Structure 1
Amino acid sequence: MSDFPEGAPCWADAAFSDVEGAKEFYGDVLGWTFGESSSEYGDYTQAYSDGKAVAAVVPPMPGEDGQSAWCLYFASPDVAATAAKARAAGAEILMEPMQVGTFGSMMLGKEPSGTVFGVWQPGEHRGFEKFGEPGSYVWAEVFTRDPDRADSFFKEVFSYRAEKMEDEMDYKVFHVPGQEYPVLGRMLMDDDFPPEVPPFISVYFAVPDTDEAVRKAQAREAVLQFGPMDSPFGRFAALTDPQGANFSVIDTSTTVGEMPEMTPA
C-alpha cells in the first residue's frame, strides 16, 4: 500500500460505550472482523476486512461518555505543523499532537464551522490497508451549516483545490494538490437537519449491496436517515447506528445517471 498524500483521508475510528455491541453491529453490516484490544492504548481495537485494517473501535476516554461518532483522520507528514496551521485557521485543538508509541502521531481538532476531525502522521501504522472496496472506507462528506468557514479552513490547512457541483445543491468536492480524484465532499446542512444535530463528517463504507446492508442495519436497530438512493456515484444510504454514530453505505458498482458537471470554486 502506498502512503497517503498530505490532506487525504487515511484512517477512521469511533468510540463506543458498548464496544462489543459495536463489533457485533459492524461485523454483521460490513462483514468486519476484529483484532485483540490493546490495553496499553485504551483498549483500541482494529477492524479488518479480508484481513486488512479498515477502521478501529475504542471505549470512550474517562469523562467523555458522549454520543458515539466516527472520526476521520487526514494524513500529514508533520502533525505538529498541521496543528499549528489548523489553530491559525481558527480550529479548536481538542487533543494536542501526541505520539502513539511506534504507530505514529495524532491530533484532534474542531474546525471553525464545528466538525471534529483528526490528523495522523504515520509511523508503523500507515492507515487504511484497504479502501474503495466492499467492507472498507470509500468517501466522506463534511456536513456543516457554515460552508464558507468550512471551505476556507480545509483549503487553508490542506491546500485543497475545490470544485462546485453545478446544480441547485450547495455541494463541493476537494482535491489534494496534484491529484485528479477528489478526496472529500462538503454538504450544506439545510432545514431538513434538526437544529440539535451538530455538524459532522459522514464516513462512507463500501458494500456489495446497499439494500441488504440497510436491512441488516435496521434489524440491529439502526435508524435509516436517507435512501437507499441511486446516483451516478453508486446506490447509497445514510444511517445512524444503535449508539448514535452516523455513517453511510454505498455500492459503487451500481450507478445511475450522468456524472454532474463540476466547476472550479
Structure 2
Amino acid sequence: MPTPHIAPGAPCWIDLMTSDPEKAKTFYGDLFGWTFETGDQEKYGGYITASKNGKSVAGIMQKQQAQAATPDMWSTYLRSDDAAATIAAAAEHGGQVYMEPMDVPEQGHMAYIADATGAAVGIWQPREHRGYEIVAEPGAPVWHELHAKNYGAAVTFYREVFGWETTVMSDTPEFKYTTLGAGHDAKAGILDASAFLPAEVPSNWVIYFGAENTDAVVDKAVKLGATVVHPAEDSPFGRVATMADPTGAVFKVIQAPGANQGNAAEEA
C-alpha cells in the first residue's frame, strides 16, 4: 500500500502519552504486531516510533512528572503547513494553546492545543517526517473521531482553524455527525457527544484501529491486560469495540462490514 497523501488539516499522526512505555511496547507489539525504534535522547527525548510491516504507524512517549495527573492517552495530530499560523487561528477561535510550535530537529514542528470544546489535539508541520506511512489496515489507524460536547462550536472551529471542508452525515436529534470530506474520501468525524459524555469527561478525540476480527482482537487485548470499556457491537460501519490499554489509554478497534464473516468471532 503506497504511503498515504495527507492534505493540510487532515489527521497525519498519532501518539501515545503513557506512564509506562515498556508496558505499552509489549502490549501494542503483541496486539498489533508493531515493532519499535527509540530516538536519540538528546535530540528527540527518547521518543519511540512504532512501525507495522516496516512502515511508521504511531509514536509513544513517556509521560512527564508535570503530567502525572493527566490520564494516559492517545492523541491525534492534524497536518499544518504553518503551525504558528494555526496556533494563532486556534487562539482567535476559542481554542487554548497548550504548547507553542516546537522544532523537532530535521523532522518538523509540533504544537498542541485544546479546541473550542476543550478537546486536546496535536498539530504537525512536516519536514522529513511526513506522518504515518500506513492507514486503514489491521493494526493501523482507520478513523479519527471527535466526541464533542458542543457540536456546533466544534464544527465551526475545525472549519475556521484547519480549513475543513465538511459534510453533514446525519442531523437527527439522536445522531448528529459531520465529516472532514465525504463518503469514502472522508478523513475524520465530529460526533455530538453531549448526550452521553459524563460531566467530568471533556470533549476528546478517539482513534480507531483496524482489525481483521474485532472479537478476536478484544479477546487478545484482555489477555494482554486491557480492559473492555464497551463490548464489541455491530454498527453500519463495522463491528466496533472500545478498550483501555493496561495503563488506561482508551482506543477503539473496528472491522469493516462483511470482513471475516465466516469466523466464529465477529468484528467491528
Is the pair's TM-score, using the shorter chain for normalization, greater than 0.5?
Answer: yes
| Match of residue 31, structure 2, among 7, 12, 29 | 29
- Equivalent residue number for residue 177 of structure 2: 172
Encode CA deviations 1:121-151: one digit per residue, 9 max, x unaligned: 1111010110111111110111122112211
Encode CA deviations 1:19-73: one digit per residue, 9 max, x unaligned: 1011111112222111134312121000111111000101013411221111100
CA contact (8 A) 1:240 1:246 kept: yes
Q: Distance in 2 between matches of 1:214 and 1:5?
A: 32
The equivalences for 1:143-158 within 5 A come to 143-158=147-162
CA contact (8 A) 1:238 1:249 kept: yes
| Match of residue 186, structure 1, among 182, 186, 190 | 190
What code does the residue aligned with 1:236 have? V
| Match of residue 74, structure 2, among 66, 70, 73 | 70
Q: Distance in 2 between matches of 1:190 and 1:227?
A: 21
Q: Distance in 1 between matches of 2:214 and 2:200?
A: 28
Q: Distance in 1 between matches of 2:135 and 2:4?
A: 12
Q: How many pairs does the alignment contain? A: 255
Shift of 1:117: 0.2
TM-score (norm 2): 0.88
Q: Does 1:50 align with 2:50?
A: no
The equivalences for 1:76-115 within 5 A come to 76-115=80-119
Q: CA RMSD in A?
A: 2.1
- Equivalent residue number for residue 265 of structure 2: none
Q: Distance in 1 between matches of 2:12 and 2:55?
A: 14
Range that drifts further, 43-52 or 152-161: 152-161
Structure 2 CA distance for partners of 1:242 and 1:103, relative to 1, 3 Å: same
Q: Does 1:16 align with 2:18?
A: yes
What code does the residue aligned with 2:52 have? S
Q: Distance in 2 between matches of 1:45 and 1:75?
A: 20
CA contact (8 A) 1:228 1:236 kept: yes
Q: Give the secondary structure class of the aligned counterpart of 2:9.
A: coil
- Equivalent residue number for residue 144 of structure 2: 140
Q: Distance in 2 between matches of 1:81 and 1:93?
A: 12
- Equivalent residue number for residue 259 of structure 1: none
CA contact (8 A) 2:169 2:179 kept: no
| Match of residue 244, structure 1, among 242, 248, 267 | 248
Q: Give the secondary structure class of the aligned counterpart of 1:109.
A: strand
Shift of 1:2: 4.9
Q: Give the secondary structure class of the aligned counterpart of 1:22.
A: helix
Structure 2 CA distance for partners of 1:102 and 1:3, relative to 1, 3 Å: farther
Structure 2 CA distance for partners of 1:199 and 1:100, relative to 1, 3 Å: same
Shift of 1:120: 0.6
Q: Distance in 1 between matches of 2:229 and 2:20?
A: 22
CA contact (8 A) 2:4 2:134 kept: no
Give percent identity, aligned residues only: 37
Q: Give the secondary structure class of the aligned counterpart of 1:35.
A: strand
Q: Distance in 2 between matches of 1:190 and 1:239?
A: 21
